[in-house]
Amino acid sequence: MKRFISMIILVTIPFLAGMGSLQGPSSPEKIPVPVKQYDATFLDQMDVTAQCKEVSIEGAVYLEGRRGEGSYTISFDNIEQVLFRVNADRLAGIVKLRAGESIELILNKSHKAYGRTRYGTFQIRLIDLKMMTIAAPSPK
């Protein structure tokens, strides 16, 4: 009898675990809420702009990428603008820093940027962007 019950449980668990995926994609109203508030303007590959508040990339307020063998994270505080370009199968981001320098990073093309427009929420894959301009942080 114990063996029969164990068998039923083992057969049922995969079905129950997969039921969450049957409920469809998450609500577009639910976007990550960043710990710090930033405003940004996005320009996509079709030259459509979106002005957003509460901007984040995957819920974080920094840009993450690789350069050589190293991994870099650059806070939105230090970023003025990012130009995105697809090169072969890689997504490069040319990051213009507020200090005037630029650095090129290889970015994760499946990451998404999120924000809130005056109409509702906004999300876009980084690979679908041409440019992201982050407004200067307001002085406190």
pLDDT of residue 89: 87
pLDDT at 93 over 50: yes
Tens-place pLDDT, residues 64-91: 999 999 999 999 999 999 999 998 889 9
Tens-place pLDDT, residues 8-43: 555 555 544 544 444 444 455 678 888 899 999 999
DSSP code of 36?
S
CA distance 28 to 30: 5
CA distance 35 to 94: 25
pTM beyond 0.85: the answer is no
Could you tell me if 124 and 42 are in contact, meaning their C-beta atoms sit under 8 angstroms apart? Answer: yes
Q: Name residue, tokens 């710990």.
A: 35
Could you tell me if 66 and 106 are in contact, meaning their C-beta atoms sit under 8 angstroms apart? Answer: yes
How many residues make up the chain in this entry? 140
Ranges of each domain in the chain: 40-134
Q: Which long-range contacts (CB under 8 A, 24 or more apart) does 126-130 make?
A: 126/57, 126/84, 126/91, 126/93, 127/84, 127/86, 127/91, 128/44, 128/45, 129/42, 129/43, 129/44, 129/45, 129/82, 129/84, 130/43, 130/44, 130/45, 130/47, 130/83, 130/84
Q: How many helices (H) and strands (E) does the chain have?
A: 1, 10
**121, two tokens:** 């929420």
